[in-house]
Chain A
Amino acid sequence: MEYRTVLTTCTYCGCGCGFYLEVLDGRVVGTIPCKTNPVSEGKLCVKGWNVHEFIHSPKRLTQPLLRKDGALTPVSWDEALDFTAKRMREIKEANGSDSVAFLASAKVTNEENYLIQKFARAAVGTNNVDHCARL
């Protein structure tokens, strides 16, 4: 018998609501809004309330996929990143820096979002930066 509550932050948008994920014998089974969270104060939206449901979904991507001969094929992170870097460089050289855009995410940390915009501006040379949390 192992029941744990794990304090974490909602991944659905940029608000940063806090909740406990309920873990019963190694499976995430529920969400409880955290009353002491200064942002959400024990309240959640319908997405936050159901955030535990995707965790064990068989439809989740668990590794990088690369389309080879028209079919998505599992590949290593190294292969996926090498391929992405190579194509991005080719596109940039052929069409200019502004032919590339970066879409950041509410599901990552501030620091990771800082890194992606820094990479976009400093490494690739574009201000085409947007994010998924246009609420």
Chain B
Amino acid sequence: MVEKVKARVQELLASGKVKGFIGLRELHGHIGPYLFTDGGDLDGFVIGDRKAAGDTRYPLNTQLIMISRQYPEETLGVLVRGCDERGLKTLFNTNQLKPEKVVSVGIACPQELADVCECMKPFPEEFVAGEASEARPFGSVERIESIEIGERLKVWLGEFAKCIKCYGCRNICPMCYCPECTLEAKDFQAVGSIASENPIFHLTRALHMAGRCIDCGLCSEACPADIPLRTLYKKIADIVDLEFQYRPGYQDSKGKMSPNVLGEAAKH
């Protein structure tokens, strides 16, 4: 699988179609993001499956944004799974990246990963390796909603109480590109004081994920307290879809929002 991806990346770099390719490299037994610039040197190129499928995924779109801002004239390549591609579309939509300056190389996730992620589309529109797995419904949302509402509130407050305010969920998020974050804006947050209390901290972030979260799950993976953030944001995505008929990254290939994006709420 990785050989097919490498061949494509090698071709892109050798032909000069991209100046660099943001992917993953394994070095000294560890896997992390890496910018490949020489098609002849793809040593250590991996797709992020170390012990289990997709267990070493990183927010490569974040690196793409950072390098693109420094080199706006250059075209860059990036490794994408289904979620990363949803991210790219949404980042194009919100003018964080230029579609003509990005070449994505897609891989499809195996079923085991799609199952764990409860992914609605575990493959990009075009992929050079892997096979399209079946989509999975948001079972985690259903499970938590089956709990009686008073008890459910207790469950969530218990989860939020574990938070150590590391801001890891915000920091790892490939869709968190705001120059100033509400969670540390001076108007809301005094410098030198502990971050806003629970559950305001988490609900603020959850609301800011509306129309933006592409369900990659990196937040949950980065959380030292194992708070099920992904489940929370999945629910937010369901609400946005219900009210506005919009799910970030699932729209047409040009990434246009559906015309009735404001939905019924606009008539109120």
Contact = CB atoms under 8 A, between A and B. Distances in A.
Interface of A: 1-5, 7, 18, 20, 22, 24-25, 29-30, 32-37, 42-46, 48-49
Contact of B37 (A1, A18, A36, A48): A1
B168 A33 contact: yes
A128 to B, nearest CB: 33
Nearest to A5: B32
Interface in B130-189: 164-168, 171-172
B30 A37 contact: yes
Contact of A24 (B66, B164, B166): B66
Interface in B43-58: 50, 55-58
A36 B31 contact: yes
A42 B33 contact: no
B205 to A, nearest CB: 15
Interface of B: 19-20, 22, 27-35, 37, 50, 55-58, 63, 66-67, 70-71, 74, 164-168, 171-172, 221-224
B20 A45 contact: no
B58 A35 contact: yes
A2 B168 CA distance: 26
Contacts of A25: 70
B168 A44 contact: yes
Contacts of A2: 35
B223 A43 contact: yes
Given A1-B19, A5-B32, A44 B66 contact: no
13 contacts: A1-B20, A1-B35, A20-B32, A22-B33, A32-B32, A32-B58, A34-B30, A35-B58, A36-B30, A42-B222, A46-B164, A46-B165, A49-B166
B224 A5 contact: no
Closest CB pairs A-B (n = 7): A3-B35, A43-B224, A36-B30, A20-B32, A46-B166, A35-B56, A5-B32
Contact of A7 (B32, B70, B171): B32
B78 to A, nearest CB: 12
A40 to B, nearest CB: 8
B56 A24 contact: no
B30 A44 contact: no
Contacts of B20: 1, 3
Contact of B30 (A7, A22, A49): A7
A20 B63 CA distance: 12
Contacts of B221: 35, 42
A44 B58 contact: no
A22 B224 CA distance: 21
Nearest to B28: A7
Given A1-B37, A42-B221, A35 B28 contact: no
A7 B26 CA distance: 11
Given A1-B20, A46-B166, A46-B167, A36 B34 contact: no
B30 A1 contact: no
A35 B55 contact: yes
A22 B56 contact: no
Nearest to A35: B56
Contacts of B58: 32, 35
